[in-house]
Structures are given as C-alpha cells and as structure tokens.
C-alpha cells in the first residue's frame, strides 16, 4: 500500500509539472513571427535589408526610401547575428529578392544574447552570405556602424572591436568579389563612434545619418544589379 501511495504521489507530481510546462508560452527566439504576415503577401521585393534595430529604425524613419524603391526592411531590434541567420530563409530567401543588404554585428558586440566572439559573429555573417549566393541572391555586405559605447552596456568600449570585425568583413568581401559598403569610414568621429549629428544615442542613426547610408547603399545596389 505504501508503494502504491508513493507511486500515486509521483504520478500527481509529474502531471502537475507537465501541466505547468504546457502552460508556458512557446518561445520564438529568432522572432519568426515579426514579419510572418508581411512575408505571406507574396510581394517580391527587389532588395531585402536584413539587420537589427538599425535596419528596423531605418524603415521607420524613412519609409519612402523603402516603398519607392521596392525594398523590404527585415530588421529586428536587439537581434544578434545568430538570430538573423536562423530567420534568413523566411525573411530573405523565400521572398526571392534580386539582392540582400546585410548589416549585422552591433548587438553581438553589446553581448545582447551571448558573450561576443569575433569568430562566431564573422561566421554567422559569412553563413548568411553563402545562403544568399546559393539561392542566386546578390549580396551587399555592410560594415558594422561605429559605436563608442552602448547605452544599455555603458561599461563596454567597442570601437576597436568594431574596427577589427569590419577589417575581417572587408577582407572577405574583397577575396570573394562581394560588394562592400563602408558605413564605418563614412560616419565615424575621432572617438571611433558616431557624431551627434548622426546619432543621439551613440548607436541608432538620425535621419541625417540614414541619408548618408542611403547614398552609399544605393550606389552599391545599382552596381550589383547591373552585373
């Protein structure tokens, strides 16, 4: 009887644990749901912009740049390069664009989801490039933007790490004949960060900052699409 009682108690505990587990909301680490409805419209953009809050904010601050050029913004605030890589198929490949603009790295450097690893961040970005090329999508690879510090990680001073990552990205682009857009060189100040006219919080561009980026990326897109 004692054994039966123990078995019954164990069963009740297991059932309770399973019920609690079932009630937990399902996690969407890569945030597939963010653009699920937009992706389902069947609209085929000329270019997809893959990125984080810098890309998401770009579409919010200057929507005409995207709508008038048939560009799709697929930036998600806070995302690291690993999350972008995971959602690259539904948010880029399945849309069948002619080209993709990849802008990543800031949140990796800010340790948003894990400790920064230059090799892993570089590898994630290269994997996105290779996925695009395997699906006949032309690539515009962008440098990570300058940042002297992060408002949410003020103890970090990422300027030199950003330069090192960009050096690797630029070398890879040159070696593999990929169009590279050097936002960093065009926008950095003497600290290796963004000047106030280009960003009010050291990370996210102002409209003036985005206008600088638009000129550079448009030149790159036109060059790539003519190939």
3 is a domain residue: no
150 is a domain residue: yes
177 is a domain residue: yes
How many angstroms separate the Cα of 158 from the Cα of each of 77, 113, 154, 207? 19, 16, 10, 23
pLDDT of residue 11 exceeding 80, the answer is no
Which structural domain range is residue 87 located in?
A: 35-226
How many angstroms separate the Cα of 160 from the Cα of each of 115, 132, 166? 16, 29, 10
Measured between alpha carbons, how far is 213 from 75 in angstroms, rounded to an integer? 15
Measured between alpha carbons, how far is 29 from 59 in angstroms, rounded to an integer? 22
Measured between alpha carbons, how far is 107 from 116 in angstroms, rounded to an integer? 9
**Structurally, how many domains does the chain consist of?**
1
CB–CB of 82/59 below 8 Å? no
Instruction: Find the mean pLDDT for residues 51-55.
Output: 98
CB–CB of 151/201 below 8 Å? yes
Which tens digit of pLDDT belongs to each residue from 139-182?
999 999 999 988 777 877 889 999 999 999 999 999 999 999 99
The pLDDT score that the predictor gives to residue 156 is 76
Which 8-state DSSP code applies to residue 90?
Answer: H
CATH code for the domain in which residue 175 is found: 3.40.50.1110
């Amino acid at each position: 009887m004692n054994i039966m009682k123990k078995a019954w108690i164990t069963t009740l505990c297991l059932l309770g644990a399973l019920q609690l587990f079932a009630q937990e909301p399902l996690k969407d680490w890569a945030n597939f749901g963010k653009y699920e409805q937009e992706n389902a419209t069947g609209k085929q953009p000329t270019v997809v912009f893959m990125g984080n809050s810098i890309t998401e904010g770009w579409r919010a601050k200057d929507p005409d740049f995207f709508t008038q050029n048939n560009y799709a913004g697929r930036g998600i605030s806070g995302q690291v390069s690993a999350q972008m890589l995971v959602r690259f198929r539904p948010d880029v490949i399945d849309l069948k664009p002619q080209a993709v603009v990849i802008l990543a790295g800031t949140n990796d450097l800010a340790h948003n989801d894990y400790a920064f690893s230059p090799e892993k961040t570089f590898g994630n970005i290269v994997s996105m490039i290779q996925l695009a090329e395997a699906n006949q999508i032309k690539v515009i690879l962008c440098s990570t933007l300058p940042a002297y510090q992060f408002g949410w990680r003020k103890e970090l001073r990422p300027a030199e790490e950003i330069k090192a990552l960009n050096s690797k990205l630029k070398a890879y682009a040159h070696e593999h004949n990929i169009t590279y857009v050097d936002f960093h060189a065009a926008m950095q100040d003497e600290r290796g960060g963004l000047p106030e006219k280009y960003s009010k919080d050291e990370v996210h561009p102002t409209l003036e900052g985005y206008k600088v980026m638009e000129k550079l990326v448009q030149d790159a897109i036109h060059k790539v699409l003519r190939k």
